[in-house]
Amino acid sequence: MRIVALAGGIGGARFLRGLKDVVSPEDEITVIGNTGDDIHLFGLKVCPDLDTVMYTLGGGIHEEQGWGRADETWSIKAEMKEYGVGPEWFGLGDRDFATHLVRSQMLTAGYSLSQVTEALCVRWQPGVRLLPMSDDRVETHVRITDADGTRAIHFQEYWVRLHAAVDAEAIIPVGADTAKPAPGVLEAIAAADVILLPPSNPVVSIGTILAVPGIRQAVSQASAPVVGLSPIIGGAPVRGMADKVLAAVGVEATADAVALNYGGRAAQRAGSDEGGAGRAAGLLDGWLVDTADQDAVAAVEAAGIRCRAVPLLMTDAEATAAMARAALELAEQVRV
Amino acid sequence: MRIVALAGGIGGARFLRGLKDVVSPEDEITVIGNTGDDIHLFGLKVCPDLDTVMYTLGGGIHEEQGWGRADETWSIKAEMKEYGVGPEWFGLGDRDFATHLVRSQMLTAGYSLSQVTEALCVRWQPGVRLLPMSDDRVETHVRITDADGTRAIHFQEYWVRLHAAVDAEAIIPVGADTAKPAPGVLEAIAAADVILLPPSNPVVSIGTILAVPGIRQAVSQASAPVVGLSPIIGGAPVRGMADKVLAAVGVEATADAVALNYGGRAAQRAGSDEGGAGRAAGLLDGWLVDTADQDAVAAVEAAGIRCRAVPLLMTDAEATAAMARAALELAEQVRV
């Protein structure tokens, strides 16, 4: 079975680990990773989401933190402070720096981000095929208004430095409109037997991947069933501050509103084939909400999306594996 | 008093620390540092000699080792080994990496090496004005012949990886012929009250600085007395493998041969003013040899270079300060 998953950082990575636990050895998992939160720091290219997936699946992640490396040291950060060179608010440990050094050196030498990611994975052996959504530079910016006026700042500055404490007025995936899907992305989607949308941030993770021209349409038109998992439980994001960026795109932070924002494929199939593609193309055949959101099921099903309520907290490996199993089961149920 | 010193790495840096101990607070020391052993590693610009001077005078050096940082950690080196990314033979600790990251980021942003060095020194406060010999890229290569044939390799590969175990057939300061002295270098030499050549490697440290067009001539024509200290004691280099690179330029590893290779300024003054400039211009007014090399004094003096035998082992701060004092005293004696 060929499974394709779109993934952001921590939530996506943890779900993928559960997915690996429930598939057969002969199954193939292709992960299309968000690169919209990539950032250049200290002259290096940092890809937080790709690295979180790689470290998590490769056994190098800092478990409690969810990002960065286990057994990390922080000498460079201390030195940068002495040099007065920032930003201070982004945590890059020494081991993590090594990854960014290797990546940046390869990019400067002319390799694409896909090639670099493949090379890094030779070490990490994540057990999945990890593809960046695009080899082109895409950077998610967030428009805010504060004492300094209205301006767009890098998503990482919004998320990590400001802790999303200011309202996000708009989410702008700079460069996405001219980016091309990385080699293999559209092919993997077209050839998939199952497509999964893990409980990653629907706006700045999955949403950014879908903003690369061609990807949303490919998912919408794929022959495989598409099943997603709600990152919202009981009206609040499980982790992170997804409600802030959902508000920026006018979507309520509820399990059903997120599903309706992705859109159902059945409605699309029922309607005209013409003009339905592009940004508004429906994506979902199935949607998992948490048992706390039993009330949301009806609204989701009314949109033609098969919906099940199951426990969606990734409290441990078993709970996470059960979520992955539920997603694969739902995929079989909605397979046409 | 304005003192100018040409300096390589460990030997030069330690001598400069002794020099700082004996001068008055109102004296100004300008150090012209060798950049010929600079190397690009992991996509970063590494300046081993400038950093050794900066760390040594700024209190951050690893004392026993003589290079690199105190309280260093080695996470990146361990990670690079896991990634299979070399070279393994060059020791860059995590703290040291921070310096190279700041430097490389500033160079990429368009600052010159002089400007970057000045910025790094804002933190280190070395108590001297540290100037790179040139802002242009110069890299010392060494021609060798081994099982792989005859070829030129980077000086660091010869020195650090091969430990100079193979004969050096030629020393090639690649880029030196078109390099320009860094801003302030010629001005400092012209305005100096004393010019010192510390016991640095006469070929790959001092020699490379002198290979930048204009610097040798400026020293030769300076109004200040020029005094050097022998890096050779009892026919052997005090530290390092200077004999190997001296052989490559046809100079014996003796205290007097090194002095004669620098050349005396008196002989030049006595001769024609025309045609004496350029590469062969004599440099020295005075030369210190170790007490073990008492025999060398006569030969050096015969070349018109005032020579004294004093202890030249930098065994501790006091011994080093005494060497600096002896050099400054000799400078006063030879002042015309």
> Which chain B residue's Cα is nearest to A122?
B83
Both tokens of residue A252?
């309520």
- The fraction of chain A above a pLDDT of 90, given in percent, is 92
**Residue ranges, CATH 3.40.50.10680, chain A:** 2-136+176-334
Binary contact (B95, A79; C-beta < 8 A):
yes
With 80 as the cut, is the pLDDT of residue B279 above it? no
Contact between residue A37 and residue A160 where contact means Cβ atoms under 8 Å apart: no
Among residues A307, A309, A306, the alpha carbon closest in space to that of A290 is found at A309
Predicted local confidence at residue A240, as pLDDT: 72
Q: Using the beta-carbon criterion (under 8 Å), do B102 and A82 form an inter-chain contact?
A: no
Given this model, what pLDDT does residue B277 score? Answer: 43
CA distance B187 to B189: 5
Question: Which residues, listed in sequence order, are joined to residue B31 by a DSSP beta bridge?
Answer: B5, B130
Q: What residues in A contact B44, CB-CB < 8 Å?
A: 101
> What strand order describes the sheet that includes B170-174?
B149-154, B139-146, B170-174
Mean pLDDT for the stretch of residues B159-167? 94
Identify the CA nearest to B56 among candidates B121, B103, B112: B121
Pairing of strands B170-174, B149-154: unpaired
Would you state the structure tokens that stand for residue B236, as one six-digit string?
């052997």
pLDDT of residue A278: 41
**Residue of B73, B94, B120 to mutate, testing the A interface (most A Cβ within 10 Å of its Cβ):** B94
Closest CA to A315 of A7, A15, A68: A15
Query: What is the enclosing helix (H) or strand (E) of B16?
Result: helix B10-22
User: Cα angle at B240 between B311 and B245, to 5 degrees?
Assistant: 110
**B94·A83 Cβ contact <8 A:** no
Backbone angles phi, psi at B92, to 5 degrees: -115, 110
Asked if the bond preceding B87 is cis, omega within 30° of 0, the reply is: yes
* CATH 3.40.50.10680 boundaries in chain B: 2-136+177-334
- Rounded distance between C-alpha atoms, residue B220 and residue B263, angstroms: 10
Do A98 and B84 count as a contact with CB atoms less than 8 A apart? no
> A146 to each of A159, A164, A168, how far by Cα in Å?
15, 12, 11
Identify the bridge partners of residue B145 per DSSP, sorted by sequence position: B150
Strands A194-197 and A2-7, bridge-based pairing = parallel
Rounded to a whole number of angstroms, the distance from the CA of B188 to the nearest CA of chain A is: 27
What pLDDT does B271 receive?
58
Task: Specify the pLDDT at position A276.
Answer: 45
Q: Is the pLDDT of residue B237 over 90?
A: no
Judged against a pLDDT cut of 70, whether residue A155 lies above it is answered with yes
Mean pLDDT calculated for residue range A227-252: 91
- Looking at residue A270, what is its pLDDT? 64
The fraction of chain B above a pLDDT of 70, given in percent, is 96
Q: Is the CATH code 1.10.10.10 the one for domain B2-136+177-334?
A: no
Let me know the angle formed at the C-alpha of A21 by A19 and A26, rounded to the nearest 5 degrees.
Answer: 85
Six-digit token string for A276 = 């339905």
Query: Residues A11, A198: contact at Cβ < 8 Å?
Result: yes
Q: Give the DSSP per-residue string, B211-238.
A: TSTTHHHHHHH-SS-EEEE-SEETTEES
Span A264-294, pLDDT tens digits? 998 766 654 544 444 468 999 999 999 999 9
Q: Which chain B residues are within 8 Å of A99, Cβ to Cβ?
A: 79, 83
Q: DSSP assignment of B148-194, as one string?
A: TEEEEEEHHIIIIISTT-SPP-EEEEETGGG--BPTTHHHHHHH-SE
- B168/B151 Cα distance (integer angstroms): 11
Distances (CA, A) of B310 to B11, B74, B80, B197, B307: 17, 40, 46, 16, 10
B contact test, residue of A101, A117, A122 with most B CBs within 10 A: A101
Q: What is the dihedral of CA B31, B37, B42, B44, to 10 degrees?
A: 30
Query: Bridge partners of B33?
Result: B7, B132
Looking at the domain A2-136+176-334, which fold is it? Answer: Rossmann fold (3.40.50)
Complex prediction ipTM: 0.93
Tell me the chain B residues in contact with residue A60 when contact means C-beta distances shorter than 8 Å. none
Residue A94: which of B73, B104, B120 has the nearest Cβ?
Answer: B73
**pLDDT, tens only, B87-116:** 999 999 999 999 999 999 999 999 999 999
| Long-range contact pairs involving A292-295 (C-beta distance under 8 Å, separation at least 24) | A292/A233, A292/A234, A293/A230, A293/A232, A293/A233, A293/A234, A293/A254, A293/A255, A293/A256
Say yes or no to pLDDT of B281 above 90. no
Q: What is the pLDDT of residues A49-80, one digit of tens each?
A: 999 999 999 999 999 999 999 999 999 999 99
Q: Which residue of A has its CA nearest to B116?
A: A83
Q: Where does the pLDDT of residue B274 fall: very low under 50, low under 70, confident under 90, or very high at 90 and above?
A: very low
**Preferred mutation among B97, B104, B122, B124 to probe A, highest tally of A CBs within 10 A:** B97
Residue B196 in contact with residue B164, Cβ under 8 Å?
Answer: no
Contact A241, A201 (CB under 8 A): no
* φ, ψ for residue A260, nearest 5 deg: -65, -30
**Average pLDDT, stretch A248-260?**
96
With contact defined as beta carbons under 8 Å apart, do B312 and B229 qualify?
A: yes
For residues A23 and A28, give the distance between their C-alpha atoms in angstroms, rounded to a whole number: 9
Give B275's pLDDT tier (boundaries 50, 70, 90).
very low
Report the length, in residues, of chain B. Answer: 336
The separation between CA A156 and the C-alpha centre of its own chain, rounded to angstroms, equals: 14
Distance from CA of B85 to the nearest CA of A (A): 8
Closest CA in chain A for residue B60: A79
Taking the C-alpha atoms of residue A140 and residue A129, their distance in angstroms, rounded to an integer, is 24
Q: What is the pLDDT of residue B213?
A: 97
